[in-house]
Amino acid sequence: MTKATVATCSLAGCFGCHMSLLDIDEKLLDLLQLVEFDRSPINDIKHISRPVDVGLVEGGVCNAENVHVLQEFRRMCKVLVAVGECANTGGVPSMRNGVSLKRCLEQSFIRGLGIEGAQIPDDPELPLLLNRVRPLHHIVKVDYFLPGCPPSADAFWRFLTELLAGRDPALPRELIRFD
């Protein structure tokens, strides 16, 4: 049996979702029987090398680089999954959406305490920030939304195994209730 290919990345996220994926513990070995990882922080591959079956994207879209990465994922992944609250809704980083980018940057780099040589960074190496933090589906078509902050290890496991078995990966209630 040929293994399914999976790519993952974290955009404006905290890597908590990736940690939760690793949290499937010994099932990780079972998972590796099923899939092969392409680009992922787990193996430090920087670009997707070939079309893959499943893309798991953690985090929202806060800057130009996030947009490029997300577009690459959309181009290369047959199935694209928004993983976790940040990817689904913008999450914690999108709390800045209530404040203008100007105020946000000025507070951080000009008016903040103990700042020397106050200046908003303009190095071309740095990706420019979008005026608002966006969930993935504002930028590209998303096929599945995996909720949770982070989604539990069981949710990852269940979702991936069902999807790879060609079944509808709808999660049972106990995996998507958080109270």
Residue 17 binding partner per list ligand SF4, other proteins, none, with a CB distance cut-off of 5 to 8 Å that depends on partner kind: ligand SF4
d(Cα 156, Cα 14) in Å, to the nearest integer? 17
> Could you say whether residue 14 binds ligand SF4 (CB under 6 A)?
yes
The nearest distance, CB 166 to ligand SF4, in angstroms, is 27
Residue 105 binding partner per list other proteins, ligand SF4, none, with a CB distance cut-off of 5 to 8 Å that depends on partner kind: other proteins
Q: Of these, 28, 79, 92, 139, which contacts ligand SF4 (CB under 6 A)?
A: 92
Stretch touching ligand SF4 by CB under 6 A, among 35-43, 86-94, 104-112, 133-141: 86-94
Residue bearing tokens 């049972």: 172
C-beta separation of 22 from 152 below 8 A: no
d(Cα 43, Cα 5) in Å, to the nearest integer? 13
**21 Cβ contact partners less than 8 Å away, ≥ 6 residues apart:** 8, 56, 153, 156
Shortest CA distance to 31 belongs to which of 20, 19, 43, 22?
22
> Could you say whether residue 176 binds ligand SF4 (CB under 6 A)?
no
Going 111 to 114 to 116 to 121, the CA torsion angle's sign is negative
Q: Of these, 55, 90, 91, 169, which contacts ligand SF4 (CB under 6 A)?
A: 91
> Could you say whether residue 59 binds ligand SF4 (CB under 6 A)?
yes
Instruction: By CB under 8 A, name the binding residues for other proteins.
Output: 64, 67-68, 71-72, 74-75, 100-102, 105, 120-122, 124, 127-132, 138-141
> Could you say whether residue 16 binds ligand SF4 (CB under 6 A)?
yes
Residue 167 binding partner per list other proteins, ligand SF4, none, with a CB distance cut-off of 5 to 8 Å that depends on partner kind: none
Helix (H, G, I), strand (E, B) or coil at 37: strand
